[in-house]
Amino acid sequence: MFRSVFGRLLTETGCVLRGVQRRPTHGGVSLRGLSGLKDREQFDLSLLELLVCPLSKKPLRYAAETNELINEELGIAYPIIDGIPNMIPQDARLIQKHTDPSPTPTQV
């Protein structure tokens, strides 16, 4: 774990020193190392404008507690892993309480 943080620190200072034509994100970089959860939220909120349920094409609700994107209508929740939302219907979790007891698809 420390190694990855150190590694990232080294490559990022390398980038900054080299004066690469990337947008300077040095402010964001140090924050990211410390607060992974905050970073996940940031990703989601801007993506939420674009993402819809692949089945019904309706907008989704972000549930911060379970870190999922929920489609109320169909009663399914798409998980978010490592800040990347998984919008494959087979990987979604059923959250409806009135459906017959069919085995829920495995949540990765």
Partner 1 sequence: MAASMRLLFRRGIRLSHRNVNVTAAGAPGQPAGCWEPPSCRCFSEAAGDRSTHFGFETVPETEKAKRVYKVFENVAQKYDTMNDAMSLGVHRLWKDTLLHVMHPQPGVRLLDVAGGTGDISLRFLEYVCFQQERRKRRAARSMQAPSWQDISNNYSTEEEEDGPQESRAVVCDINKEMLRVGKQKADGLGISAGLSWVVGDAEELPFDDDQFDIYTIAFGIRNVTHIDQALQEALRVLKPGGRFMCLEFSKVTNPVLARLYDAYSFQMIPVLGEVIAGDWKSYQYLVESIRKFPDQEDFKGMIEDAGFYSVKYYNLTGGVVALHSGFKL
Positions touching partner 1 (CB under 8 A) are 8, 11-12, 15-16, 21-23, 25-26, 28-29, 32, 43, 46-47, 50-57, 59, 74, 76, 81-92, 94, 96, 99, 102, 105, 108
Residue closer to partner 1, measured from CB, 57 or 65: 57
Residue closer to partner 1, measured from CB, 59 or 67: 59
Task: Using alpha carbons, select from 43, 46, 77 the residue that is nearest to residue 60.
Answer: 77
Residue closer to partner 1, measured from CB, 14 or 66: 14
| C-alpha–C-alpha distance, residues 78 and 31, integer Å | 27
Task: Using alpha carbons, select from 99, 75, 79, 98 the residue that is nearest to residue 88.
Answer: 79
State the minimum distance, in angstroms, from the CB of residue 55 to partner 1: 6
Q: What 8-state DSSP symbol labels residue 59?
A: B
Residue closer to partner 1, measured from CB, 15 or 72: 15
- 76: phi > 0 → left, psi -120 to 50 → alpha, else beta; which? beta
Structure tokens given for 30: 């140090």
